[in-house]
Amino acid sequence: MSTFSASQLPLEPLGAGDLIDRAVRLYRRHLFVLIRTAAPPVIIAAAGWVVFWMTFQRIFLTDDMSQLATYIVVSLLAFGVMLAGYLFTIVVMGGATRTLVAHLLRNDPVTARATYSAVRRRFWGLFGASIIVLIWITVSFVVTLFGWQLLSYILILVLAVLAATTFAIIPIVFGIIGFTALTLLAMWFFFLIVGRVAYVPQVMLVEGKGVFESFTRSFNLARGNVRRLMAMTVFTTFATYSALMILLIPLGWYGYLAGIDPLNDANWPAWYSVAYNVLAPLSSILLTPVWMLGLSLLYVDERVRHEGYDIELMAARQLGELPNIDVTSPLGTALSSNERQPPAPLGPRPSSRILNLN
Determine, yes or no, domain membership for 66: yes
Determine, yes or no, domain membership for 344: no
Local confidence band at 12 (pLDDT 50, 70, 90 cut-offs): low
Per-residue pLDDT at 159 exceeds 60? yes
Q: What is the full DSSP assignment across 263-280?
A: T-GGG--HHHHHHHHHHH
Average pLDDT value for the chain: 78
Determine, yes or no, domain membership for 346: no
Local confidence band at 333 (pLDDT 50, 70, 90 cut-offs): low
- Our CA dihedral for 257, 262, 264, 267, rounded to 10 degrees, sits at 50
Determine, yes or no, domain membership for 324: no
Question: For the ranges 38-42, 114-118, 154-158, 165-169, which has the lowest average pLDDT?
Answer: 165-169
Please work out, in degrees rounded to the nearest 5, the angle formed at the alpha carbon of residue 148 by the alpha carbons of 164 and 139.
Answer: 160
Number of neighbours of residue 106 by Cβ within 10 angstroms: 15
CA distances from 263 to 165, 248, 256 (A): 41, 12, 10
Residues 6+ apart with CB under 8 A from 319: 355, 357
Q: What letter represents residue 191's amino acid? A: F
260-265 own/partner pairs: CB under 8 Å, 24+ apart? 265/57
* Sign of the CA dihedral with 172 first, then 176, 177, and 181 last: positive
Number of neighbours of residue 69 by Cβ within 10 angstroms: 11
CB 124 within 8 A of CB 88: no
- Cα separation of 320 and 327, whole Å? 16
Overall average pLDDT of the 121-144 stretch: 90
Domain count for the chain, please give it: 1
Determine, yes or no, domain membership for 356: no
Overall average pLDDT of the 316-345 stretch: 52
Determine, yes or no, domain membership for 177: yes
- Determine the pLDDT at residue 16: 74
**pLDDT tens digits, one per residue of 210-220:** 888 889 888 88
Determine, yes or no, domain membership for 100: yes
Overall average pLDDT of the 244-265 stretch: 80
Q: Which of 154, 142, 223, 220 is nearest to 186 (CA)?
A: 142
Residue 88 host element (H or E) = helix 65-106
**pLDDT tens digits, one per residue of 59-99:** 877 777 888 888 888 889 999 998 888 888 888 877 888 88
Domain that holds residue 242: 16-313
- Determine the pLDDT at residue 149: 93
- Determine the pLDDT at residue 340: 40
- Determine the pLDDT at residue 117: 87
- Determine the pLDDT at residue 322: 53
- Determine the pLDDT at residue 152: 92
**pLDDT tens digits, one per residue of 269-314:** 777 777 777 777 777 777 778 888 888 888 878 877 777 766 666 6
* Residue 5 per-residue DSSP state: -
Number of neighbours of residue 229 by Cβ within 10 angstroms: 20
Determine, yes or no, domain membership for 358: no
Tell me, rounded to whole angstroms, the distance of Cα 324 from its chain centroid.
Answer: 31
